[in-house]
């Protein structure tokens, strides 16, 4: 494989900036790889080689003429199709937004543009990010590059597949209930969801607003930290974005002995769920490696983990029903030609353009928010959410990170369903607003990658990167391996 494709973002940006590698060649290498593997993987909804090459050439010219390089000058990146880039289409993998053109840039895109990054394409996802397999996309099915008969996970399955098969060095995704970390775990790469409020969601298609966060996919922890240094920080246009200053998250990575100062909590509840035997074995091995590095391993308990699937479904669907109400077929998007009155037109515009999963969630959400049911359903769930957060904060008083397998099961074949509790340790991070990162830790006998998940206290993101980076060095996972497609 082309050396450019196996290069980390860290090295690639240095080489581009030094003029050793041309951004145009980096973009060309990505597109060459895309032409080879994309027919089987189908990670992208839209590619625009011409425009990407134009931007790359502009970066090269900037460097040639001695102008100051952006942090990600000339580096190619893939963007999930629910993040707005001015003048480009954004479908959120829904028929409703089939012809939508973004009138402005999302904050994260604005920042990536000023850092000099080059957008190479829009990645597939579950429709409006509702799903965990990328199968609810209205356009195409994305395959897991390690076994193309299996799902890549979701909802950001396209971004995960693109990075793991070396079609893009890194990518943006969004994570509402594990939508970055689960597919990253399924495809053997690093997936990160920030603390709630660290990265602005302005210009991102909303799913469940009290959980949604933008995050990243990369081949290593450093590249994620580098990307986050560019996109994180205060933005008045997202009212829940915390007033944090721009931070260099790659600082403090070279310290050895990181784990000697850390207490790693293993949730007692892990044993309550049926898990894949190989995953448990590799997780135990990871715990042993941490111990050998000097980490103190403690057992922590959060009994309300058992409410996670129910909590997530009730609150998420309620927020979905409120957010999707914005799609009225009046200001943009699909309008049914069959409506006979205003109400009928709303109903038909949504009914004809949205997929089953989205509609099911709208209905469930509308029900739990209904005047008759609100107290018993939605309000009750919000109080149980407090219980879970209290449990997790108590666990965090005894450890620095909660450590678990990234998923409890391996990816399934298309059309098959994953059990509800597969991602509960990931979803807990969304419910509590905690940061989480999945890092690959090994392969199964069938050459499928597995991962582990670190969840930290709120706004411990910098420390989380340091721990994940240190783990990466001892995980034994060979990052230079690529799927044979």
Partner 1 sequence: MLKEELEITAFLARLEVKEEEKERYLKDLNKMFEFIEVLQEPDISQLKPTTHVTSLRNVWRDDIVKPCPKETIEQMLNAAPQKEETFYKVKKVIEAQ
Nearest alpha-carbon partner for 24 in 68, 76, 79: 76
Shortest CB 326 distance to partner 1, Å: 12
Shortest CB 222 distance to partner 1, Å: 28
Nearest alpha-carbon partner for 238 in 282, 203, 211: 203
Contact 80, 159 (CB under 8 A): yes
Shortest CB 154 distance to partner 1, Å: 18
Shortest CB 107 distance to partner 1, Å: 14
Closer Cβ to partner 1, 364 or 401, answer by number: 364
The secondary structure of residue 99, as a DSSP letter, is T
Shortest CB 376 distance to partner 1, Å: 7
Shortest CB 378 distance to partner 1, Å: 9
Closer Cβ to partner 1, 6 or 366, answer by number: 366
- Candidate list 15, 28, 42, 80, residue with the active-site label: 80
CA pair distance 36, 380, nearest whole angstrom: 51
Contact 244, 196 (CB under 8 A): no
CA pair distance 241, 126, nearest whole angstrom: 25
CA pair distance 149, 144, nearest whole angstrom: 7
- Candidate list 23, 92, 102, 155, residue with the active-site label: 155
Closer Cβ to partner 1, 187 or 353, answer by number: 353
Burial track 468-485 (b if 16+ CB lie within 10 A, e otherwise): bbbbbeebebeeeebbeb
Closer Cβ to partner 1, 269 or 345, answer by number: 345
CA pair distance 252, 239, nearest whole angstrom: 30
Contact 94, 129 (CB under 8 A): no
Closer Cβ to partner 1, 127 or 223, answer by number: 127
Q: How far is CA 410 from the centre of its chain?
A: 18
Closer Cβ to partner 1, 292 or 330, answer by number: 330
Shortest CB 130 distance to partner 1, Å: 13
CA pair distance 432, 390, nearest whole angstrom: 9
CA-based torsion, 307, 311, 312, 313: positive or negative: positive
Instruction: Please count the other Cβ atoms lying within 10 Å of the Cβ belonging to residue 303.
Output: 12
Shortest CB 436 distance to partner 1, Å: 14
Closer Cβ to partner 1, 219 or 335, answer by number: 335
Tell me the β-bridge partners of 170.
218
Shortest CB 420 distance to partner 1, Å: 9
Instruction: Please count the other Cβ atoms lying within 10 Å of the Cβ belonging to residue 237.
Output: 12
- Candidate list 92, 137, 174, 179, residue with the active-site label: 179
Tokens of 430: 């969304």
Q: Exposed, middle or buried, 271 (CB in 10 Å: 0-12/13-18/19+)?
A: exposed
DSSP assignment of 331-399: SSS---TT-SSHHHHHHHHHHHHS-HHHHHHHHHHHHHHSTTTTIIIIIHHHHHHHHHHHHHHHHHTS-
| Contact set with partner 1 (CB under 8 A) | 100-101, 103-104, 196-197, 210, 236, 239-240, 242-243, 304, 307, 309-311, 313-314, 317, 321, 325, 328-335, 339, 341-343, 345-348, 350-352, 354, 356, 359-360, 362-364, 366-368, 370, 376-377, 379-387, 389-390, 432-433, 458
DSSP assignment of 14-54: HHHHTTSS-HHHHHHHHHHHHHHHHHHH--EEEE-HHHHHH
Backbone angles phi, psi at 117, to 5 degrees: -65, 150
Q: How far is CA 177 from the centre of its chain?
A: 9
Note if 155 is an active site residue. yes
Residues taking part in catalysis = 80, 155, 179
């Amino acid at each position: 494989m082309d050396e450019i494709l196996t290069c980390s973002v860290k090295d690639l940006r240095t080489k581009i900036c030094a003029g050793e590698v041309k951004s145009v060649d980096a973009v060309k290498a990505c597109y060459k790889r895309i032409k080879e593997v994309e027919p089987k993987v189908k990670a992208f909804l839209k590619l625009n080689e011409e425009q990407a090459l134009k931007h790359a050439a502009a970066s090269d010219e900037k460097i040639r003429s001695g102008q100051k390089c952006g942090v990600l000058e000339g580096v190619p990146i893939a963007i999930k199709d629910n993040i707005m880039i001015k003048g480009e289409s954004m479908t959120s993998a829904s028929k409703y937004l089939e012809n939508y053109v973004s009138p402005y840039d999302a904050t994260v895109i604005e920042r990536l543009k000023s850092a000099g990054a080059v957008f190479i394409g829009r990645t597939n996802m579950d429709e409006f990010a509702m799903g965990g397999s990328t199968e609810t996309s209205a356009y195409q099915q994305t395959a897991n590059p390690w076994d193309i008969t299996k799902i890549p996970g979701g909802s950001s399955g396209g971004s995960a597949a693109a990075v793991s098969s070396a079609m893009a060095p890194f990518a943006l995704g969004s994570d509402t209930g594990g939508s970055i970390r689960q597919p990253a775990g399924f495809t053997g790469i690093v997936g990160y969801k920030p603390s709630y409020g660290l990265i602005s969601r302005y210009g991102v298609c909303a799913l469940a607003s009290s959980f949604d966060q933008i995050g990243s996919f990369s081949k290593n922890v450093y590249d994620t930290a580098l990307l986050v240094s560019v996109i994180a920080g205060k933005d008045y246009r997202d009212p829940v974005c915390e007033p944090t200053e721009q931070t260099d998250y790659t600082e403090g990575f070279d310290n050895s002995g990181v784990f000697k100062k850390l207490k790693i909590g293993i949730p007692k509840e892990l044993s309550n769920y049926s898990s894949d035997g190989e995953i448990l074995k590799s997780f135990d091995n990871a715990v042993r490696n941490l111990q050998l590095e000097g980490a103190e391993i403690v057992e922590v308990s959060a009994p309300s983990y058992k409410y996670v699937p129910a909590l997530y479904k009730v609150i998420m669907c309620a927020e979905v029903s409120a957010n999707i109400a914005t799609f009225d077929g009046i200001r943009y998007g699909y309008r049914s030609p069959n409506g006979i009155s205003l109400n009928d037109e709303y109903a038909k515009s949504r009914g004809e353009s949205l997929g089953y999963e989205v509609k099911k969630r709208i209905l469930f959400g509308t029900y739990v928010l209904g005047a008759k049911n609100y107290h018993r359903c939605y309000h009750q769930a919000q109080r149980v959410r407090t219980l879970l957060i209290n449990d997790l904060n108590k666990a965090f008083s005894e450890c620095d990170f909660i450590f678990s397998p990234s998923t409890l099961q391996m990816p399934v074949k298309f059309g098959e369903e994953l059990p509800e509790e597969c991602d509960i340790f990931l979803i807990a991070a969304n419910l509590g607003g905690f940061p989480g990162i999945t890092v690959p830790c090994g392969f199964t006998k069938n050459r499928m990658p597995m991962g582990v998940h670190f969840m930290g206290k709120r706004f411990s993101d910098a420390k989380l990167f340091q721990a994940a980076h240190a783990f990466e060095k001892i995980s034994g996972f060979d990052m230079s391996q690529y799927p044979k497609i």
